[in-house]
A and B are shown apart, each in its own frame.
Chain A
Amino acid sequence: MRKIKLLLKHAFLMISSLICLFPFYWMVVGATNLSKDITKGTLWFGAEFMNNFRAVQETADIFQAVLNTATITIVQVPLALLICSMAGYGFEKYPSKTRNKLFNVFLLTMMIPFAAIMIPLFNFVFDVGLIDTKMSVIVAALSNTFLIFFFRQSFKALPNEMIEAARIDGASEIGIFFRIAMPPMKSTFAAGFIYAFMKEWNNYLWPLLTLQSSENRTLTLFLSSISSAYYVDYGQILVSVVIATLPTILIFMTMQKHFVSGILGASK
């Protein structure tokens, strides 16, 4: 009886994972086939990967787009993590009368859709002369309410005694943050990193509005632009999608362990 149950459980899990993995499989298979074969429903590997790849390069500069997205992400993510973790730490570890009210205001901003603040923000970025620069994309996402909230929740698990002990020993407040508070939160930072990375790597609407020239185009804009042609070449699109997805998959694979424990709120 128990064996049957176990078997059923595993069968269910395997079917579910097949369903989840199929799009990835199809993406890779599609990248190796011609567009006309993809629309006919081919499900096995073809020999056209290099041709599709060459066609993408002839259409537009995909590596420039990868480079742009990478630059923005590499600069933005560590800065956002630093700012948000410090903010979360500050909210949690420095008692004051207004901190909860202020924090509630922060949380409320999560409910304002981006579309509502888009045009004022665009006006602002234009007026300060940041339009069509990578800076405009980086700066706009430096403070992220969800990340501040996430870090604050995690810092709750950090015993105040440790901070007090460090203070008595004469450590500076900044020193306490970097030397006492940060090291045990490795998995929280890893989870935050994956979150911020994916958000920035897939960022679409804001770069679309502020980045104007072709040299500054990010990967998401590149993908969107090649998929709206009158004659859609699915082979080209899928090759580009494979290239665009690789870094996310790699990062998730290498940091998967931390991601799960970080989301569960572990703090050793």
Chain B
Amino acid sequence: MKKRLGLLLATGMLSFSMILAGCGNSSKESGANGAGGASGAAETNDEAATEETQKITVWAWDDNFNVAVMKTAAEYYKKLNPDANVEIEVISNSKEDIYKKLQTGLASGGKSLPDICLIEDYSIYQYLNSYSKYFYPLNDDVDYSQFSPYKVEVMTYNDKAYGIPFDAGVTGLFYRADYLEQAGFTAADLEDITWDRFIEIGKQVEEQTGVKMTVANGTNYSSLFRTMMQSAGAWYCDSNGELTITNNEVLKESLETIKKMRDAGIILECADDSTLAGAINDGTTASVINAAWRVSTIKAEPEQSGKWAVASTPRLNNANSVNASNTGGSSWYVLDNGQDKGAIVDFLKAVYAGDIDFYSDILVNQGAVGTYLPAQEGKAYQTEDEFFGGQKVFAEFASWLPEVPSVMYGKNVPESNTAVNTALFSYLQGDITVEEALTQAEDQLKNQIQ
């Protein structure tokens, strides 16, 4: 028995060490190629001269959305340039995971970074602010006047533009045409309205149909007040990145509007984003204000086909406010990891800044509204969607896109969201005034970020 045990252990250890040795060998190769790191890349460049296939690694976070879009882009590039010796590998991780990896890579001196990385508009400033030397500016290569100005503004740092603008978070008011009709409203009644008018309509809709006018995540209103704020070209900070929460007239009106909506009882408050999606699908809400990508949630319930429609985002009473805004959105950034950028820039330019068919393709298949303005001529934007009663939904979104006011997001967007949202709750409960709420939010934020 004892002997057998010893023998078992000995063979076990032997096989483990063999496996380990195997892992070690194969790993070294993939480490040098796959990581795209500075040291490994230098070696391959020296030896491989010209004919070697260049591998471009891309980090993105949604398999059905931006990952799929990048894979489509790779196919289009192959069609445009059949001779190009590049292989584009898209690596999918969650958004938070990508930020952790990116932060670690940047903090350890630009090690093990991808060639192209998707970064949210709300987050890019903090990276450019601390690590701009690891990002590759593209303003010599790309004609930025072809993209939505507000997207270009976000990626500009020290007069250099980094990255290729990708999807727009341009917002719209999705509504149930059948409920609204029941309450006596037509599509024209919802076009270019103010939030005050929206509340009036909401009250009547509930009276007539018993359905709440709109839906929100009752624990996190940040998407709603961000949308309101940007519609007037305002933000948590000014164009120099200085916090402007306390005396921010637009933010004040946004919070007051949310309180008005809530006091009027027209919001169905959900516990989280999944119940919010549930409310949209089971017909307990008559509308939802969100970006174009909500289309996929709405279409998840085929029984509601033909009942939905979309109108422009309501505006604030503030003189600067327009009926167009934005929530979220992201762009592709080229990282400077020591490799030659020629092929990468050529790929991004050829597809993202030139191929209209590509934009039509990703709109139809992934629901991605690009920010390349000439792409709106593409036929996909002009398609009538039966789900939305024959409305040209994406043509509508595209028409609002150039009107979205430019805003400088600054580097503390997630922290600002939380601080303002927390203060908003005390205000909604009636414990403090709106001025106190804004002061409280700014104080909390300053304590946190200093």
Contacts and interface: CB of A to CB of B under 8 A. Distances in A.
Contacts of A40: 278, 281-282
Interface residues of A, number: 49
B100 A230 contact: no
A134 B27 contact: yes
B23 A129 contact: no
A130 B92 CA distance: 21
Contacts of A75: 16, 19-20, 23
A9 to B, nearest CB: 34
Interface in B1-42: 2, 5-6, 9, 12-13, 16, 19-20, 23-24, 26-28, 30-32, 34-35, 37
B425 interface: no
Contacts of B300: 35-36, 231
B218 to A, nearest CB: 15
Given A60-B92, A131-B31, A39 B275 contact: yes
A205 B35 CA distance: 18
Contacts of B61: 225, 228-229
A78 interface: yes
Contacts of B13: 82
Contacts of B108: 119, 122-123, 126
B273 to A, nearest CB: 8
Interface stretch (B62-70, B155-163, B201-209): B62-70
Contacts of A214: 89, 91-92
A216 to B, nearest CB: 8
A208 B57 CA distance: 16
Contact of B278 (A36, A78, A130, A229): A36
A213 B30 CA distance: 9
The 3 nearest A-B residue pairs measured at CB: A133-B27, A39-B278, A228-B94
Interface of A: 35-36, 38-41, 59-60, 75, 78-79, 82, 118-119, 122-123, 126, 129-136, 138, 175, 178-179, 182-183, 205, 208-209, 212-214, 217, 221, 224-232, 234
13 contacts: A39-B275, A39-B281, A60-B63, A122-B108, A131-B31, A131-B35, A131-B112, A132-B27, A133-B30, A209-B100, A209-B101, A221-B93, A231-B296
Given A208-B100, A228-B97, 7 more contacts: A36-B281, A60-B63, A132-B35, A178-B5, A212-B114, A231-B65, A231-B297
